[in-house]
Structure 1
């Protein structure tokens, strides 16, 4: 979800990759929550962090505590950020309760991504 938000809210100005420690597939409730919010996850797939080990990053943002613990050391020492968010896929209950968990996380992520974009824009202005 964070990948889709960042890619679309930056209007493609930021190259974004998302990966996990134990990737499976895109969760259908994540896709539904994103579609309801007007964001498309088309073309995204679950990836392992191992697929990105050789990739250069300026920033690495972990969004769950588990990933923060297992995130490997990456080349070029990117700036690290951590957004401690619960994994909505772990929520148990009715279909509606589980969907609401994805909606909550989507709302939290979009706020954080928008804030990050403001900070990055300010940083670019300062560097010039």
Structure 2
């Protein structure tokens, strides 16, 4: 089973959604984790709500510090925000590092429906990218090809 760590600064929405989506979709192919360099106190309630819409419960998850994972050998480390890409710590085991940057729905101002719309957009983008990721023929590719294809998912629109 391949281990994947999703990173965002706050670990309050994007990385939490990615962790939960990968764990729900990947069966026994992957085990996902999430963390941040400056985790907040709790998960964003809009992230919880939009994940409930696709029958994935993240209400009991808590933001975690990337420092908690510095001794785990990950196969992949995927950053989801530009700030985290710049601050990504080094992890043991020579993981494939990729950046799947996307806007922080939490920073977009607006009414509740507008915020939900932005969180849905983020969730759907993460869903799309994870579908691409779990369908990579990793057993048939060398490390360089896997690295390149994983990075390319981050620029897929």
TM superposition score normalised by structure 1? 0.91
Q: 1:20 aligns with which of 36, 45, 63?
A: 36
SS in 1 for 2:78: strand
The unaligned stretches of length 5 or more in structure 1 are: none
Residue in structure 1 matched with residue 47 of structure 2 by the alignment: 30
Query: CA 1:28 to 1:42, structure 2 compared with 1: closer, same or farther past 3 Å?
Result: closer
Superposition pairs of residues 72-83 of structure 1, within 5 angstroms: 72-83=89-100
Stretches of structure 2 lacking an aligned partner (at least 5 in a row): 1-16, 143-157
Equivalent residues of 2:48, 2:59 under 8 A apart = no
Structure 1 position 123 matched with structure 2 position 138: yes
Native 8 Å contact 2:43 2:59 kept in 1: no
Which structure has the highest strand share of the two? 2
Aligned residues: 125
The one of 3, 8, 23 equivalent to 1:7 is 23
Shift >6 Å, 4+ stretches: none
Which structure is higher in helix share? 1
